[in-house]
Amino acid sequence: MDEPATDRTTRPIRVAVVDDHPVFRLGMAGLLGSLAGIEVVALAEDAAQAVERVTEEVDVVLMDLHLGEDSGIETTRTLIRALPHLAVLVITMDEDDESVVAAVRAGARGYLLKSASPEEVERGIRAVANGEAIMGPQVAARAMASLTGSRTSVQVPFPELSDREREVLDLVARGFDNATIARRLVLSPKTVRNHVSNVLAKLGVPDRAQAMITARRAGLGGE
């Protein structure tokens, strides 16, 4: 007799929960574990644990954007590079445009707020596991507007910079320090420092002040 196929129709969706708050992490694991067809197979509180515990057995990662000193955006990017089959569903308190766009660019398939109902979380997990993209109603319209605006930009200053480096330079030109830039772009402070160093090298300027002047001359740093 033939063995039954082990595909999505015959086995549960295997989920990893990555969140630095133990009450939320364990509570979410309890909720998901009570749902038919969903199995929690890994829990992680930071980037290192996520990289270690999210394996090929995982189908969906429920990802917070703030993991203590680590960035959920960078962790998402790292996991998807290593495991392209992963579906990442962000669940966070952040509903600003920068966070939504950064998550989508990093490869997340879904974006929910932590105020989402259990039904919305379940629907989101099943949707991304099925290859769909999903966003909570509070963020969907704003996210689409931001993505459309980024695609229709005509002039791209400093083409030698990556998109992320250009975003960092724009915030430098506005006078923000590294800590503020890290919060706005949902990155770790270390990652922001690295981006600033790369920008200075690529622009051939000696310091942050000169980078600010150069960026403003090119039209960056406007509100």
Instruction: For residue 186, give the CATH number of its domain.
Output: 1.10.10.10
In tens, the pLDDT along 163-199 reads 888 889 999 999 999 999 999 888 889 999 999 998 9
Question: Do residues 103 and 188 share a domain?
Answer: no
Q: How does the average pLDDT of the chain come out, rounded?
A: 86
- Report angle CA 203, 205, 211 to the nearest 5 degrees: 80
Whether residue 168 contacts residue 158, with contact meaning beta carbons closer than 8 Å, is answered with: no
Q: Is residue 155 in some structural domain?
A: no
Regarding whether 138 and 177 lie in a shared domain, the answer is: no
pLDDT in tens, 37-89: 999 999 999 999 999 999 999 999 999 998 888 889 999 999 999 999 999 99
Do 45 and 114 fall into the same domain? yes
Regarding whether 134 and 91 lie in a shared domain, the answer is yes
Instruction: Using pLDDT thresholds of 50, 70 and 90, give the confidence band for residue 104.
Output: confident
Look at residue 28 and tell me whether its pLDDT is greater than 80.
yes
Helix (H, G, I), strand (E, B) or coil at 49: helix
Within a domain: residue 66?
yes
* 121 and 181 inside one domain: no
Stated pTM of the model = 0.64
User: Does residue 174 share a domain with residue 75?
Assistant: no
Containing structural domain, residue 17: 13-146
Residue 33 burial (CB count, 10 A): 11
Distances (CA, A) of 72 to 34, 117, 181, 211, 212: 26, 21, 15, 28, 28
- pLDDT at residue number 142: 58
Task: Select from 146, 176, 198 the last residue of a domain.
Answer: 146
What are the backbone dihedrals phi and psi of residue 47, each rounded to the nearest 5 degrees, phi first?
-65, -40
Q: Are residues 35 and 131 in the same domain?
A: yes
List the one residue out of 66, 52, 50, 65 whose CA is nearest residue 16.
50
Say if 7 falls within a structural domain.
no
**pLDDT at residue 6 greater than cutoff 50:** no
Beta pairing, strands 66-67 & 60-63: unpaired
* Span 144-164, average pLDDT: 65
